[in-house]
Amino acid sequence: MLTDAFTEHDNQAARRKRLLRLIGRQVSAEPLMLRCMKLLGIGIINAFALIAIIGDIRRFETPAKLVAYIGLNPGQRESGRGKNIKLGIGKRGRGDMRRLLVQGAHAVLRMGRGTPLGKWGWKLFARKGQRNIAVAAVARKLLVQVWHALMGNPPDAMETDKSFTTKLRKLTVTLGKVLRAELSLPGNLDACVLHFQNQILSHAKIDTA
Q: How much is the pLDDT for 76?
A: 55
List average pLDDT for each run of 10 residues in the chain, which is 209 residues long. Answer: 91 94 96 95 96 95 95 67 56 89 95 91 93 94 96 90 95 95 94 95 69
What is the tens place of the pLDDT at every residue in 60-102?
999 999 999 999 987 655 554 555 545 556 677 899 999 999 9
pTM: 0.85
User: What pLDDT does 50 receive?
Assistant: 97
pLDDT the model gives residue 11: 94
- Amino acid letter at 27? V
